[in-house]
Homo-oligomer: A and B are copies of this chain.
Amino acid sequence: MKEYIEQNRERFLEELFTLLRIPSVSAKPEHKADMYFCAETLADLLLEAGADEAGVCETAGHPVVFGQKIIDPKARTVLVYGHYDVQPVEPLDKWNHDPFDPQVHDGAIWGRGANDDKGQLFMHVKAFEYLVRSGKLAHNVKFLFEGEEEISSPSLPAWIKAHRKLLKADICLVSDTTMISDKVPSINCGMRGLSYLEVKVTGPNKDLHSGHFGGAVANPIQVLCEMIATLIDADGRVTVPGFYDKVVELSRADRRLLAKAPFDMKEYKEFLDIREVRGEKGYTTMERTAIRPCLDVCGIWGGYTGAGAKTVLPSEAHAKISMRLVPNQHSAEITKLFEKHFKKIAPKYVKVEVTPCEGCDGFLIPISSPAYQAAARAIGEVYGMEPVPARGGGSIGILGEMQKILGIDPLLMGFGLERDTIHSPNESYLLRQFFAGMESIAKFYDYWK
């Protein structure tokens, strides 16, 4: 594969760029046509790579791309999952160039989707192409690329349920996560779940003149701040009663294993330009994002937010709150606990509304499985170092769903790095990770027999 990459390097980048130039932002209705165009472009790429069939399938929302090559009904089957939709690009002024005009510089591909997930899913298409063209393909391969991952896959579960037979496979192979670093390869053996809610605090029934009422009527922004301030205690623990009840404490041995992954606090702080980290007492920074749940305010708004000084005591204040969950915590349950707690702590001078937005459970992957072992061997060879089993801090809700519906485990061969700043301005993907990923994937097929 290494040689094949060298021969086709420029073509690979050109093909990827045709995908990256399409603004397939699933969250925004005005990009509906872009979603279709992106799906069709991707189906064409699959056919060119060697798929027997590939096409765009309707769902209740944005379309799904499905393609496959069946070499032998009795052979092992790999289902590759990825998503062609991308996050919104705002704030636009923080990008160094047009997010949909991909560029290569400083050893990386830059642009929205460079990594998440167009860049990562593209590695699978090219590894497949190599196996087909070199006559080495020994598996049935199915591709499932959705267009709604960034909006939490509302339509995919129904589509999967309706196409159980078509999707039958032995493993679900996914590249949509990160590694510890490009020098310390790792494989995700679990991801966090998610509970995401919106809260609204209402004080007076109308916006008031802060001179006439200020000091006498509870200000809903003040109250919301006071309520949010109590959600995390001095030890960095979430105060929602019952929040930690089902969290499984890792054994000392397991924590020692996780701690083997190198971590440079100085580098970490420099990367973020922060003087100090903050998190749950008694856990390391790596543990805090991997094996521990947490709560974050993802957005807050209320009152006057324009230029200059408007003196208003507003009627409402709002916040979006996400909780990352670890395996065994159930999203639906945590959402209910939060809702109950948030209403309970509301002082009597305001009204509080809580609206659950979305959620998913976390999951774990057994590292003893042959598929995991094959992936570890493949990555180990490419990187010259055995990959560390790691836990992903993010959430890919649909994988847990697929595990439930299709009965197949996901295998997370992710090649992203923290420095790629996916979801943020100036998303990037290191070229050496991009190509090492392709190579590792091709080797995985070789070792998983």
Contacts and interface: CB of A to CB of B under 8 A. Distances in A.
A447 interface: no
Given A228-B225, A299-B305, A348-B275, A289 B214 contact: yes
The 4 closest A-B pairs by CB, nearest first: A211-B394, A215-B294, A299-B303, A205-B273
A299 B312 contact: yes
The number of times this chain is found in the oligomer is 2
A322 interface: yes
Given A311-B298, A349-B274, A423-B207, A229 B218 contact: no
Contact of A309 (B196, B219, B289): B196
A301 B298 contact: no
Contacts of A225: 224-226, 228-229, 297, 300
Interface residues of A, number: 97
Nearest to A228: B225
Interface of A: 27, 87-88, 91, 94, 151-152, 178, 192, 194, 196, 203-219, 221-222, 224-226, 228-232, 236, 272-280, 285-286, 288-289, 292-314, 317-320, 322, 324, 347-350, 357-358, 392-395, 418, 421-425
Nearest to A220: B297
Contacts of A230: 229
Contacts of A302: 297, 299-301
Given A425-B206, A425-B207, A300 B322 contact: no
24 contacts: A27-B308, A88-B306, A204-B272, A207-B424, A208-B272, A209-B423, A213-B289, A215-B289, A218-B274, A218-B277, A221-B297, A221-B300, A225-B228, A225-B297, A228-B229, A278-B349, A297-B303, A298-B313, A299-B302, A300-B302, A305-B320, A309-B322, A309-B357, A311-B394
Contact of A211 (B299, B307, B393): B393
B322 A210 contact: yes
Nearest to A151: B308
Contacts of A207: 91, 423-425
A301 B347 CA distance: 22
A320 B300 contact: no
Contacts of A357: 308-309
A383 to B, nearest CB: 21
A394 B312 CA distance: 11
Nearest to A275: B348
